[in-house]
Structure 1
Amino acid sequence: MIAVPYAHREPLVLPTRTECEARLDHTAATWREWTDGRTYAGPWREAVLRSVLALKLLVFAPSGAVAAAATCSLPEELGGERNWDYRFSWIRDSAFTLNAFLKLGCAPEATGYFWWLMHASQLTHPRLHVLYRLDGGARAPEKTLPLSGYRGSTPVRIGNAAAGQLQLDTYGELVQTAWLYTAAGHRLDADIARRLAQTADFVCTAWQQPDMGIWEVRSAPEHFAQSKMMCWVALDRALDLAQRGLIPDRHAPCWRRERQAIAEFVDDRCFSLRLNTYVRSADSDELDAGLLLGLLHGYRSPDDPRMRGTVAAIQQVLQDGPYVNRYLGADGVTGSEGAFLACSFWLAEALARTGRAGEAAHLMDQLVPLANDVGLYSEEIDPATGDFLGNLPQGLSHLALISAACAIGQATR
């Protein structure tokens, strides 16, 4: 055993070997006790428990925020420039985060995260930032450091310029998160209820704008289909909350009207009859794995022919063995990237939800062993070598694994 004691402006006290062993035993026992309290008994239980442990370790205890990853500037391509700082909390991850905590019996973590989210989003209301600092602050200026980077991958960035982008899907994620919170039996206070209604009002006026999309491209804004789908989700969930008397319903007729307008835009401009699939952006022929979230978050039901066609098209174009690429088009940054692990798990969940549980389980059986020796997943994987790429551990990868495992378990039951 090796102990590394440290002190700051106080005497350095060296613990004895017996004290070190006792502390280690206590730490291990505490984590085992916490893990034993999780309420998951479905398939791939060990991987799910390791994933929720990773999420627990990404919680910033003073605020309840969950960091997207514990690292910054680990490259998505060795030697390339796709090096980002993920030590922030993304609104994009919020519904998956709250749902995972609720499903796995992590009530204190779910409550802490929800109230952090409500506090952070209040600071920029009615607009949302793509990401917030773990203390709830909104500023995250991006700058580069004079370092050579991991295996020569420069620039080394801290901060994240995506914070100031317009990313419309975040509004759907926020309202979906509040909807999940109430579905678990929690109430909303009057201030949060009023702000959620105002968020729906904002979506009614903002959804027609082009944005940077879920992947925060650094090219020109576009009318991304997944962004519009999540605007529809925002208004749909707001209408449900209003019908249940949980948020003010004064503008519900407007929400209903704009929800219909969004659906018409998505189904007219963002669906390719030739390819039988929803497409990445209006009037394009490109695909995007983010479209799977339209199914997972309920833009359309799993038996909808267009959604089924989208799943099949993503399998055909973006899937490479167990790996799924986010997209293949330009995004304003040079170089390439690996397969995005969360998208692979989203595909597994989509297969389960569309009645293909056997295929979903087979894909999960290929994905779960990709973890490292302590059960962690990075953001991406190089399909050619199996090497991890991007920041580690990546919370979204673990969230997608948990969601997929729960969905497949439910489908097989």
Structure 2
Amino acid sequence: MIALRDEAGFVDLRSYAAIGDGRTVALVALDGSIDWYPTPDLDSTPSFARLLDPDEGFIALAPTAEYSVERRYADGSNVLETTYTTATGSVRITDSLNTGVAGRLPWGELARRIDGLTGTVDMAWSVAPGSCFGTASPWLDGGTDGPVLRVDAVGLGIRGIDHGLKVSTGRSVEGAFTTSEGSRHLVAVVSTHDEPLPLPDPQTIDDGVDRTITNWQAWSDDFAYDGEYRHAVLRSALTLKLLLHSPSGSIAAAATTSLPESAMGGKNWDYRYAWVRDTAYTLHALTRVGLREEVHAAVSWLLKNLRAQRSDLEVFTRLNGDIPDATRRPDLTGWRNIGPVVDGNPAAGQLQLGVFGDVFDIVWQYVQAGHVLDPSTTRQLADLADLTCDIWHRRDAGMWELPEERHYVSSKLGCWNALRCAVLLSERGQLQGPVERWAAERDRIRDWVEEHGWSEERQSYVWYPGSTELDASILLHAMSGFDTGPRMSATIDALREELGAGPLLYRYSGMQEEEATFVACAYWAVSALVAVGRRDEAVDLMEELLPLANDVGIMSEMVDPSDDSFMGNLPQGLSHLALIVAALSLSGKA
């Protein structure tokens, strides 16, 4: 496998593997270049963003001669091992965002260990930060303890072992060295933001790589899933773990911004936020594979945010819980010159009725796992249930965050699920309020959907009343239990006939002309097939979908069915958690 960059300096999105430390994520290309690395947090403006513009910074490390490449994650970890083979020898690079003895380090520590395996290999490296989306100019702050690069408030200390340092006088630091059989080298970047910069002993950083692998493996050893497709499920769970922001407990929807959903551009969004919707689906998966700490942290973070917002439910927030700033469009080219680059997301402030169902579904899962709500939460939830009774009649932007507000059927079903869960919580003694009203409105929503959301002509649930257009998100309500009978089974067939492209699905009618297929929708179809009793078909579909991940199991938001290329942001949490839920469904554990 050879890693190739195009003339503009970009690589296929399939080229990227992800590493992380519980606070941010770095993307490593097959050619050894780290093209995406925000610090200190995932939603910070990145110092390294060649992913979106050739001039926006990278951390390169690779042989200087032509090579072939193979890679894998160290077993049970998010530490990447890449082996390069040249005509003269072979070398292994181990990439790690190091963790500490007691968890996340208070600084960023990106370690790149190089081990000579056979023969000799000439290696070259470079640390070249960009302009933080056009807001800063990097400069070299040479010190007696080693070079330091600064980009506005970000400090980047370069450390190494036998790394052939040649300090640049400009905006980057570089070096070169030659490996031999059994040799050990290290290139590391230590980072802080608006605070002093530690410069650890390089051997301590190198030791940290082994500790980080051990930390990840200890986490994986507690992974309580022994059903079908365990390897794929564990890899997806490890990928989702990269998107969990440990300082707050929030969960990012994806690790990147502005990767296009279409080769024509325009649909380029920032997903480095915590969506209530994505959090709900993620917790649905993580609860069922026995992850206790992450689930509690995410539930607590979400409920605290809800109390602060009162009845004005935000679709998403920043990872620290703040309301997102206004969207801006930096003057960057975009990946493969497909712009725009977007810092922010215009869906902020939309009314999405499905979010009510997401909130209650999270809480119901939490209580089902044997936990107890606090009095402040129960009062807030009772108020939200009352609000759901009133607000479900309104038009909204729908799950897909569309500019045109309609009576989307999936949105009504979200409200149905909210009131269903509210009644269940009341029956469990975890919620007090006018439960008779909640139950009555729940039933009214069912009646509305059965009357207005079903098309005899299409033999399918439709996108909104009066239309014959289809929406793949209806599949989620086979899993919610709204319908697992003949109507849902017929809807699955209609969706796959109209929106299908091989095993994949587009999101809704008309998207074949605007964007690639949405990976999560196809895995939702697996779970829906199981729910309606068509397990053999679900197995066949699962077997077709699993090979669509890249060589190390990473999935993007979308796949172009013409060539299976990745589109959209990555790693995409919704894709990975949909895989997990599909496997749970097939194993009878959903």
Q: Same fold (TM over 0.5)?
A: yes
Judge which range, 368-377 or 65-74, deviates more: 368-377
Post-superposition CA distance 1:253-284 (Å, at most 9, x none): 22122112211211111110111111001111
Matches within 5 A, 1:230-269: 230-249=414-433, 251-269=434-452
- Partner of 1:163: helix, strand, or coil? coil
Q: Is 1:148 the equivalent of 2:329?
A: no
1:160 CA displacement: 1.0
Unaligned runs of 5+ in 2: 1-113, 115-185
1:226 to 402, 405, 410: 410
Q: Is 1:277 the equivalent of 2:460?
A: yes
1:215 CA displacement: 0.5
Is contact 2:498-2:509 (8 Å) kept?
A: no
Partner of 2:392: 207
Structure 1 distance, partners of 2:459, 2:480, is 20
Q: Is 1:343 the equivalent of 2:521?
A: yes
- Alignment coverage as a number of residue pairs: 404
Which amino acid letter does the alignment assign opposite residue 34 of structure 1? W
Post-superposition CA distance 1:73-119 (Å, at most 9, x none): 01111241100000001111233211222111210000000001101
The answer to which structure, 1 or 2, has the higher relative contact order (CA under 8 A, 6+ apart) is 1
1:335 CA displacement: 6.6
Q: Is 1:298 the equivalent of 2:481?
A: yes
Is contact 1:69-1:392 (8 Å) kept?
A: yes
Partner of 2:585: 407
Structure 2 distance, partners of 1:359, 1:313, is 15
Is contact 1:124-1:138 (8 Å) kept?
A: no
Unaligned runs of 5+ in 1: none
Structure 2 distance, partners of 1:10, 1:230, is 47
Partner of 1:376: 554
1:305 CA displacement: 1.9
1:6 CA displacement: 3.4
- Partner of 2:290: helix, strand, or coil? coil
Larger Rg, first or second structure (1 or 2): 2
Partner of 1:329: 510
Structure 1 distance, partners of 2:325, 2:554, is 26
Which amino acid letter does the alignment assign opposite residue 372 of structure 1? N
2:498 to 317, 330, 348: 317
Is contact 2:315-2:349 (8 Å) kept?
A: yes
Which amino acid letter does the alignment assign opposite residue 525 of structure 2? L
1:15 CA displacement: 3.8
Structure 1 distance, partners of 2:254, 2:552, is 16
Is contact 2:478-2:532 (8 Å) kept?
A: no
Q: Calculate percent identity across the aligned residue pairs.
A: 41
335 and 309 in structure 1: CA distance in 2 versus 1, 3 angstrom threshold: closer
User: Which of structure 1's runs of 4+ aligned residues deviate more than 6 A?
Assistant: none
Which structure is higher in strand share?
2
1:88 to 256, 273, 282: 273
- Partner of 1:392: helix, strand, or coil? coil
Structure 2 distance, partners of 1:408, 1:371, is 19
Structure 1 distance, partners of 2:197, 2:491, is 63
Partner of 1:308: 489
Partner of 2:355: 170
Structure 2 distance, partners of 1:14, 1:216, is 45
Partner of 1:40: 225
1:387 to 521, 540, 565: 565
